[in-house]
Amino acid sequence: MKLAYWMYAGPAHIGTLRVASSFKNVHAIMHAPLGDDYFNVMRSMLERERDFTPVTASIVDRHVLARGSQEKVVENITRKDKEERPDLIVLTPTCTSSILQEDLQNFVNRASMESVSDVILADVNHYRVNELQAADRTLEQVVRFYIEKAKKQNKLDTSKTEKPSANIIGIFTLGFHNQHDSRELKRLLKDLGIQVNEVIPEGGLVTNLKNLPKAWFNVIPYREVGLMTANFLEKEFNMPYVDITPMGIVDTAAFIREISEILKQSCNDIENKVIDIDQQSVLNTGKKDISAFNFENYIDQQTRFVSQAAWFSRSIDCQNLTGKKTVVFGDATHAASMTKILAREMGIRVSCAGTYCKHDADWFREQVQGFCDEVLITDDHTQVGDMIARIEPAAIFGTQMERHIGKRLDIPCGVISAPVHIQNFPLGYRPFLGYEGTNQIADLVYNSFTLGMEDHLLEIFGGHDTKEVITKSLSTDSGLTWAPDGLAELNKIPGFVRGKIKRNTEKFARENNVSEITVEIMYAAKEAAGA
């Protein structure tokens, strides 16, 4: 048992549900007790989703405990099949069903005979994996299922698109700024003359998954979700993938260069193949392409003039940040990228970089090596809090949890990673990836520190004006007295409305010629306030 107040990554089924509900026309059914469908609230509130979240529960109650689910799960699946006609129904186990050890696969087999939809059982174990690992696994499972299905039906077309194309894998619901990142990635690929073949799972159709092999390569923007799928596609179809996160100027350039290599390589392959079948025309296009796959000019233009971040790092503003201490904490992708940006691109000192993705600790250490003083791998927020208190950085870049730690210690914090609150689902365009992403990050970093000049002036003049605010009331002596019981009751009222209630009560007392305010008067005032 573990005493816990807060967790960074959610339970496994959340990951499965995030993947399932990101696809269009896929329905997830949780095998769970009443109240576990909390995911719907998160999606509806955080993402401000207009549509009903395609997740329902097959409720586990006392009867199920006594007799087993029996027909219930099968009925719920076939019912949903008739009501919504989804392409796929994903039966999702939870911590409860993990212990019940019912043969869910058997329910799935039976239900799939009766329903038009495809039905699969998400293969995740609550006690072994967390939200992110489960999402990674579920995405691979769904892709594998539809590739196998297409193979069986002989509908799998592995011929490549004529023009270079890519799949973007790992964009999904409740992901940190995923929608904006997706748009930015598409724009970046378009600039490079690369078509986007499929984006999964967000907004994709499972019936289109058989088209995945048509792309020349895969893009995995986030470390946490998509790598399993990319590995599967590589093994199965020899599809290369790019797993560099294009976050920050240096890594975005590295990402583009990697793509360039892949394209050149694929062209050579095609060329060789084409010679075999002797199709001169395709050979010509292939040859022409190779020179088009040199993106150095593009990188240079974007870096120096489109993105403002390279210029920012040379500007006087950024000079003031030199050597300031920071702490970075988040998921592996964002924490690693952020550490590199701060240290390499802005000259800021990262005293500690950390991640809660314990399952990916080795990769993280390797990434941040040389860019920070120490590395912290933990999913215990009190350890992170203690570390921050010890280091006393000038700014923190972390999750919502670190933002709250920062508030308590009076240290500013920029949020760079999930877990997140509703304010991290902005309506405006805020990617973290690509060249526009570098601008956003520069703003975030700069605004998180106390502005340079302001800081300087405060130091010279000994801080803010220290004259204390003595009274919060604008009126002079009111001639009213508060009876002890009234005063005691007033003090029970939460601080932020107390002043208003005090004023309203006194106004009421004056109007009614009452000189002593008791509890009764207080509530009489409240009752009268509405009229």
- CA 298/CA 190 separation, integer angstroms: 12
The β-bridge partners of 55 are 28
- Is residue 317 among the annotated active site residues? yes
| Binding flag, residue 52, another protein (CB under 8 A) | yes
Contacting range for another protein; rule: CB under 8 A; set: 161-169, 314-322, 476-484, 517-525 = 517-525
- Residues 475-494, interacting with another protein (CB under 8 A): 489, 492-493
Tokens of 59: 């409720």
- CA 327/CA 329 separation, integer angstroms: 7
| Binding flag, residue 1, another protein (CB under 8 A) | yes
Query: Tell me, what amino acid is at 112?
Result: S
| Binding flag, residue 50, another protein (CB under 8 A) | yes
**CB 247, CB 439: distance < 8 Å:** no
Taking phi first (over 0 means left), then psi (-120 to 50 degrees means alpha), and beta for anything else, what does residue 479 get? left
- CA 369/CA 377 separation, integer angstroms: 13
Smallest separation, CB 487 to another protein (Å): 13
Per-position DSSP letters for 446-469, written without gaps between them: HHHSPPHHHHHHHHHTTSS-----
Q: Which is nearer to another protein, 235 or 492 (CB)?
A: 492
Smallest separation, CB 68 to another protein (Å): 12
| Binding flag, residue 33, another protein (CB under 8 A) | yes
- CA 375/CA 236 separation, integer angstroms: 36
**CB 161, CB 197: distance < 8 Å:** yes
Smallest separation, CB 437 to another protein (Å): 27
| Binding flag, residue 59, another protein (CB under 8 A) | yes
| Binding flag, residue 523, another protein (CB under 8 A) | yes
Q: Which is nearer to another protein, 65 or 292 (CB)?
A: 65
Q: Which is nearer to another protein, 301 or 382 (CB)?
A: 382
Smallest separation, CB 74 to another protein (Å): 15
| Binding flag, residue 265, another protein (CB under 8 A) | no
Interacting residues of 415 by C-beta distance below 8 A, sequence separation 6+: 397, 398, 399, 400, 402, 403, 424
Smallest separation, CB 314 to another protein (Å): 39
| Binding flag, residue 38, another protein (CB under 8 A) | yes
Nearest Cα neighbor of 350 from 381, 366, 319, 371 is 371
Query: Tell me, what amino acid is at 531?
Result: A
- CA 8/CA 399 separation, integer angstroms: 9
| Binding flag, residue 201, another protein (CB under 8 A) | no
Q: Which of 264, 404, 503, 507 binds another protein (CB under 8 A)?
A: 404
Smallest separation, CB 288 to another protein (Å): 41
Q: How many CB atoms lie within 10 A of CB 386?
A: 12
| Binding flag, residue 453, another protein (CB under 8 A) | no
Flag whether 453 is marked binding.
Answer: yes
Q: Which of 16, 21, 22, 53 binds another protein (CB under 8 A)?
A: 53
Q: Which of 126, 183, 257, 264 binds another protein (CB under 8 A)?
A: 126
Smallest separation, CB 379 to another protein (Å): 11
Q: Which of 6, 305, 311, 429 binds another protein (CB under 8 A)?
A: 6
Q: Which of 317, 379, 380, 443 is catalytic?
A: 317
Contacting range for another protein; rule: CB under 8 A; set: 47-55, 112-120, 209-217, 254-262 = 47-55
Q: Provide the sign of the torsion angle of the four alpha carbons 60, 62, 67, 71, taken in this order.
A: negative
Three-class SS state of 331: coil
| Binding flag, residue 11, another protein (CB under 8 A) | yes
Contacting range for another protein; rule: CB under 8 A; set: 39-47, 102-110, 148-156, 285-293 = 39-47
| Binding flag, residue 528, another protein (CB under 8 A) | yes
Taking only Cα atoms into account, the Rg of the chain, rounded to an integer number of angstroms, comes to: 29
Q: Which of 21, 25, 34, 156 binds another protein (CB under 8 A)?
A: 34
User: x/- string (CB under 8 A) for another protein, residues 348-387?
Assistant: ----------------------------------------
Beta strands per DSSP E along 8-77: 26-32, 55-59
CA dihedral 318, 404, 171, 438 (to 10 degrees): 0
Contacting range for another protein; rule: CB under 8 A; set: 28-36, 159-167, 176-184, 474-482 = 28-36
Cα 421–399–15 angle (5° rounding)? Answer: 70
| Binding flag, residue 122, another protein (CB under 8 A) | no
**CB 206, CB 23: distance < 8 Å:** yes
Interacting residues of 189 by C-beta distance below 8 A, sequence separation 6+: 166, 168, 195, 196, 219
Q: Provide the sign of the torsion angle of the four alpha carbons 302, 447, 348, 8, taken in this order.
A: negative
**CB 337, CB 138: distance < 8 Å:** no
Within 156-306, where are the H helices? 178-191, 227-237, 249-277, 280-292, 296-301
Q: Which of 68, 82, 105, 128 binds another protein (CB under 8 A)?
A: 128
Smallest separation, CB 424 to another protein (Å): 14
| Binding flag, residue 67, another protein (CB under 8 A) | no
289: phi then psi, degrees, rounded to nearest 5:
-60, -40
Q: Which is nearer to another protein, 36 or 198 (CB)?
A: 36
| Binding flag, residue 390, another protein (CB under 8 A) | no
The β-bridge partners of 415 are 398
Please state the residue numbers annotated as binding site. Answer: 36, 452-453
Please state the residue numbers annotated as binding site for substrate. Answer: 452-453
Please state the residue numbers annotated as binding site for [4Fe-4S] cluster. Answer: 36
* Catalytic machinery residues: 317
Q: What residues line the site for another protein (CB under 8 A)?
A: 1-7, 10-11, 13-14, 32-38, 40-42, 44-45, 48-53, 56-57, 59-62, 65, 76, 83, 94-96, 98-100, 126-128, 130, 404, 407-408, 421, 489, 492-493, 519-520, 523, 526-531
